[in-house]
Amino acid sequence: MKYYILDTNVVLHDPQAIFKFDDNVVVLPLTVIEEIDRFKKDQSETGRNARHISRMIDAFRSQAKLVEGVTLENGGILKVAIYKQEFMQKLPPELRVDRGDNRILAVANDLMESLPDSRVVLISKDINLRIKADTLGLQAEDFLNDKVPVDELYTGTVEQLVSKEQVDRFYEEGSIDIELDFYPNQGVTLVDETNPSHTALGRFFAAQQQIVPLIKVPKEGVWGIHPRNREQQFAFDLLLNDDVQLVSLVGKAGTGKTLLAIAAGLLKSADEGTYNRLLISRPVFPMGRDLGFLPGDIEEKLSPWMQPIFDNVELLLSSHDEGGKRKRGYRELIDLGLMEIEPLTYIRGRSIPKQYLIVDEAQNLTPHEIKTIISRAGEGTKIVLTGDPYQIDNPYVDSASNGLSFSVERLKGQELIGHVTLTKGERSALAELAANLL
């Protein structure tokens, strides 16, 4: 049997973590319970997780004594370990300072010494704590249950070698049956095996096991925007397809993720009326040092954070002139109720029907926060997640554990879901150079 000692940051990141170690023993040092208590009044996601894990532990308390162990649903055992002062004396002098991390180390070290025939593992998302544990001879690991290696992330597109006759038939008949196993709504490039320059772009329609043509972008573009590469064509196909209710666009800076999403959202809401309005949001995380509290009402406070959204809308409006006459400004779109900018802070508990919801910079969200957002979708709502897993400002997630990467990998086999990884920068030659070399 294995013993897993969980650090505070693990249960604050995922309250369900105690159930994810199979039929082994999960140990929570009493110090962890004490640290959880400090967060329970926070209104953030961390505070909600603290309250959730506290309620679960309190429910287990009624079943058996926590220090003796409570049997979990998955066959594992949950124990609370009490720290004793003599445990600290077994640590090196540098680690005998009475701090939470050192207390957790002391408990883990004592457990390892008292159970020489069992495997004792400290689980923590704190790199320095794992390094300290390793110097003591303790086995220490990161909490990997929610991690998706970003280099192995589903791209949403695939190239398939076919015969010349199949490519020609696709153009003539508008679709071809195919027996290969693709993911629903995956973008497929059909390549003539005898002539690689003879290709066709399509989307895998899982219900009929067919490759079907992409939705054609209007001659005037989508609010003046035309796809500049193959991935952008796949992206517009998903963004304009009402049957695909969740679209994720992943790519480095300058690949057009946000611009394509807003252009499609304005077309589907302001022009076609398929959706009542375009709702845009993004998590509020500063890059670099925070400026502190901002003055004004909620709209004034949000303005600096939402300026990238306004910049994209202004670009679309400037490219969507009619006869040289400027159409509505973004302020007028907001006043008419066609577009709304809203912080994610207030989305919990809402139901959002028949709206085109764009969540920008979604890589700064945790898997639980992404779940909360998607579960707000009411009847007729489409959600678009955009972001770059390599540009993360949230200190509690990384490129492998963020909500965007997690949702892409977990939802890729569903017929309501579509995804495209954009690789080619189209903002400018300078932006592309910076994204690749800096």
Domain boundaries, the chain: 2-141, 228-437
Determine the pLDDT at residue 321.
58
Banded model confidence at residue 287, pLDDT cuts 50, 70, 90? very low
User: Pick the residue with more confidence: 146 or 250?
Assistant: 250
CA distances from 156 to 58, 204, 207, 435 (A): 43, 11, 17, 22
* Cα angle value 233/235/236 (rounded, 5°): 70
Determine the pLDDT at residue 325.
47
Q: Is the pLDDT of residue 244 over 80?
A: yes
Could you tell me the end-to-end alpha-carbon distance of the chain, in angstroms, rounded to an integer? 47
The count of C-alpha atoms lying within 13 angstroms of the C-alpha of 401, restricted to the half-sphere facing its C-beta, is: 15
Q: Report the distance separating Cα 383 and Cα 242, nearest Å.
A: 11
Q: Where are the alpha helices (DSSP H) in 267-319?
A: 298-318
Q: Report the distance separating Cα 96 and Cα 91, nearest Å.
A: 6
Banded model confidence at residue 286, pLDDT cuts 50, 70, 90? very low
Banded model confidence at residue 296, pLDDT cuts 50, 70, 90? low
Quick one: tokens of 423? Answer: 């690789």
Determine the pLDDT at residue 79.
95
The count of C-alpha atoms lying within 13 angstroms of the C-alpha of 404, restricted to the half-sphere facing its C-beta, is: 33
User: For the ranges 114-128, 134-148, 230-244, 259-273, which has the lowest average pLDDT?
Assistant: 134-148
Q: pLDDT tens for residues 53-84?
A: 999 999 999 899 999 999 998 899 999 999 99
The reply to whether 228-437 shares the fold of 2-141 is yes
Q: What average pLDDT does the segment 9-33 reach?
A: 92
Q: What average pLDDT does the segment 238-242 reach?
A: 97
Global pTM reads: 0.76
Q: Is the pLDDT of residue 362 over 70?
A: yes
Kindly report the CATH number that applies to the domain delimited by 2-141: 3.40.50.1010
Determine the pLDDT at residue 305.
64
Q: Does domain 228-437 have CATH number 3.40.50.300?
A: yes
Banded model confidence at residue 430, pLDDT cuts 50, 70, 90? confident
User: For the ranges 39-43, 212-216, 259-263, which has the lowest average pLDDT?
Assistant: 39-43
